[in-house]
Amino acid sequence: IAVGALRYFMLKFTRNSIIAFDLSEALSFEGETGPYVQYAAVRARNILRTLIGRGLALPDFTSALDADSMARQLASEDCWQLLLAASRADLAIQRAVVSGEPSHVARYAFQLAQAFNTFYHDYRVLDEQDEEKRTFLLWMTDYFRAQLERTLGVLGIALPEYM
């Protein structure tokens, strides 16, 4: 966690920024920090791990969510915004490569973590009674997890199993 915190702290600034390093700020779990972003990804993993711990399997999303189901679920503005946010990983990575500024990826990772934390507080993924909605929420959780793990990987930040 500490290495990821330090790496994130350094990468969130643009090349021309003057940095006043503050260890306590870098290690904080609040605000634009590596641990905050790591925790969001670990939280998503834990939702999926808890599902399996209950003796349930992750659904086959391709067969469980057809176009009509997705349209019904994406009618929710919150879910639509999270999906849009999670879908912008390639754009953030491309922008970072073109500009030579990894801060674009770091900023994107933080914004995605914020979006997921809002989603997490708004929806009880594992306790959802409606099967279609629960499957959709699990898909959103898994998609978010994959995108955030990918962006953290681009930044060279390892993701701990537990936090």
Pick left, alpha or beta for residue 57 (phi over 0 → left; psi -120 to 50 → alpha; otherwise beta).
beta
Could you tell me the pTM of the whole model?
0.84
Instruction: Give yes or no for a contact between 145 and 44, defined as CB atoms under 8 angstroms apart.
Output: yes
Task: Supply 33's token pair.
Answer: 């920090």
Please enumerate in sequence order all residues whose Cβ is within 8 A of that of 162, keeping only pairs 6 or more positions apart, or say none: 42, 46
Query: If you search the block for the tokens 């790496």, which residue do you land on?
Result: 7
- Report the number of secondary-structure helices (H) and strands (E) in the chain: 9, 0
**Tokens 């809002």, located at residue:** 118
The two tokens of residue 137 are: 């929420």
Q: What is the pLDDT of residue 12?
A: 77
Look up residue 57 and give its amino acid: A
Walk along the chain (163 residues) and give the pLDDT tens digit of each residue.
Answer: 777 777 887 777 667 767 676 767 766 677 778 889 999 999 999 999 999 999 998 999 989 999 999 999 999 888 888 899 999 999 999 999 999 999 999 999 999 999 999 999 999 999 999 999 999 999 999 999 999 999 999 999 988 888 7
Q: What pLDDT is stored for residue 39 in this prediction?
A: 93
* Structural class in CATH, domain 2-154: mainly alpha
Instruction: Return the pLDDT at 14.
Output: 67
Write the pLDDT tens digit of every residue in 3-49.
777 788 777 766 776 767 676 776 667 777 888 999 999 999 999 99
* Angle value at C-alpha 122, between 118 and 125, nearest 5 degrees: 110
